[in-house]
Structure 1
Amino acid sequence: MEFRQIKLANYTAFGEKVKAWAKGNDPIPGDLEELREQLAAAEVGATIPDNITKVKFIQADDDTWIVRLPAKQYLEASEKRLEEADYTLPAFYERTFRSKPHVEDKMKFQAERIADYTINGCG
């Protein structure tokens, strides 16, 4: 089975929703259907593949480092795709930096993005 990534039309709306959950301003969804409802109400424009059947929320605290590992199948598919395709980034990178990022070493950049996400946790 091919791994299909979750797609977002509105990263800002999703980021604001995640912040609201983290701060306790909105209730954390209890299941995938409730998540879909909240994302739709927030106008996130999320496309969640059919193979996703559950959701798990984990919130770090001040003394716990949560090391989030990518799905093995997704990581391997991404590495294979990078052998032939450009490294793609969400449109907000281009908007923020006012140019389309050029990635020389795709595998190195992928590792750096994974490392950055892992050590910074969402901040």
Structure 2
Amino acid sequence: MTNPFLRTALITGAVIAVVNIVFASLEYGLPNLPWWFYAAQLLLLPAMLLPMRYFPQASVTPDYLRRAGLFALGWAVPYAIYKFAHDVLSPVFSPGASLVGYVVTVALFSLIFAAVRRPGAGGRR
């Protein structure tokens, strides 16, 4: 893993964690967030390291479904931490609804990313 690659993964994980803390504090109040919520956000740092290698690989994969699958694998773990840590804070938390929302969101975004980030798309008209 190259140094810029490592830096990008760690910065991305930190930004996602901060965004999740901001959104959760706006919804529930910063003093009301439990300690485990902050600990879960720390999991985003290592969770970005392994899947980050899928993004460059996906951007050069010509097959649309394989490219979408690589994007889905890249976002699966970090988004799971982001979504489930926030969803569990809700007093009306439903594991099934949360899981369905997670799967649908990862599928939609991976299909959108695969369509937008196709190989050779840059500069060609």
Bin the TM-score by the shorter chain. Answer: 0.3 to 0.5
Which structure has the highest helix share of the two?
2
Using CA pairs under 8 Å that are at least 6 residues apart, name the structure with larger relative contact order, 1 or 2.
2
* TM-score, normalising length: structure 1: 0.32
